[in-house]
Amino acid sequence: MAVMVTGGAGYIGSHAVLALLDAGHEVVVIDNLVTGFAWAVDPRATLVQCDVADEGRVRAAIRGHHVDAILHFAGSVVVPESVSDPLKYYRNNTVASRALLESAVCEGVRHFIFSSTAATYGTPERVPVAEGDPTVPINPYGMSKLMTEAMLRDVAAAHPINYAVLRYFNVAGADPQGRSGQSTAGATHLIKVAVEAATGRRSHVSIFGTDFPTRDGTGVRDYIHVHDLAKAHVAALDLLRADPSLNHTLNAGYGRGFSVAEVLDAVDRVTNMTIERRLEGRRAGDPAELVADNRAILATLDWRPERDDLDLIVRDALAWERRLAERDAED
């Protein structure tokens, strides 16, 4: 039995591939390499370069590799872009997921793990936010993911397939062994931006908003190490296989928040630098605070965070950024 990982050449997907391989699973990756990199796919996995919506090739890969489970990471992830180009998000996230689900059902795939997002909550009424709280996305990105959650629920009710939806909070860091990391150019995520500034790729870090109702006025987020998140997927797969009668929707976060200023303090501490901060206005659609109530994931999965430490997250992200800089220098 093999596991199919869509988006396995991307940031989070490539770490999930490593975690699955390290746990002894056979892995086949589906990736169109539009934002991912072939070199990010561990050579122990098989890479099939195609779109997740290419039903012919996806179904052939499922059959050829005896795939019983799909981990679906492929998708578009830039929130502001989803506002300016919503149809791209409904195509790449919602419509493509529909096609993938059809391939899965037609080929008798039994388990499905979906990369969802805390953006499905929109601006939560309370923090920490729990899985049963209202899901009211405030951007097309969150809506495109929420629509896929709904499809998955309906498909699992009608067909012999069970699922885990993992709603990611703020994913950061890199593989502790230096095998993968966040490599996408032009990234907008805070920790990535900050380590780019630390390695000279940017001159400064902008702080978007200093007047939020938080302890220091800057936005608070729940940063989760990508290595822990990847291992949560392996635990979710084990659970889905062990009890095919149950489905799960779980927040993937550590249950504590750090402000933008606290993150930048950590970057200064780890790099022994003082990175220039520029105070700017709020970014459209940013909630003040987004922190996971993570009791459900802790109670459900055989999983415990191993790298719940902001300095460690920054250190791993920085090590990867330095590797990328060295690679660029060699080219």
Tokens of 110: 């039994």
Least CB distance to ligand UFG at residue 122 (A): 10
20 touches 234 (CB < 8 A): yes
Least CB distance to ligand UFG at residue 66 (A): 33
Window 44 to 103, contacts with ligand UFG (CB under 6 A): 77, 79
One residue of 36, 137, 219, 255 binding ligand UFG per CB under 6 A: 219
Nearer to ligand UFG, 246 or 279 (CB): 279
Please, how many CA atoms are within 13 Å of residue 247, restricted to the half-sphere of its CB?
19
Stretch of 17-25, 39-47, 200-208, 312-320 lying at the interface with ligand UFG (CB under 6 A): 200-208
- Residue 25 DSSP code: -
Residue with the closest Cβ to ligand UFG?
219
**Which is nearest to 249 in space by CA: 167, 187, 162, 309?**
167
Nearer to ligand UFG, 162 or 182 (CB): 182
Residue 105 CB: number of other CB atoms within 10 A? Answer: 16
254 in active site: no
Question: In the stretch 104-143, what mask flags binding to ligand UFG with x, by CB under 6 A?
Answer: -------------xxx------------------------
**Which is nearest to 276 in space by CA: 211, 227, 182, 204?**
204
The active-site residue out of 11, 141, 163, 223 is 141
Each residue of 258-294: b (16+ CB within 10 Å) or e? bbbbebbbbbbebbeeebebeeeeeeebebbbbbbbb
**Which residues here bind ligand UFG, judged by CB under 6 A?**
77, 79, 117-119, 169-170, 188-190, 193, 205-209, 219, 221, 260, 283, 286, 290
Catalytic residue numbers read 141
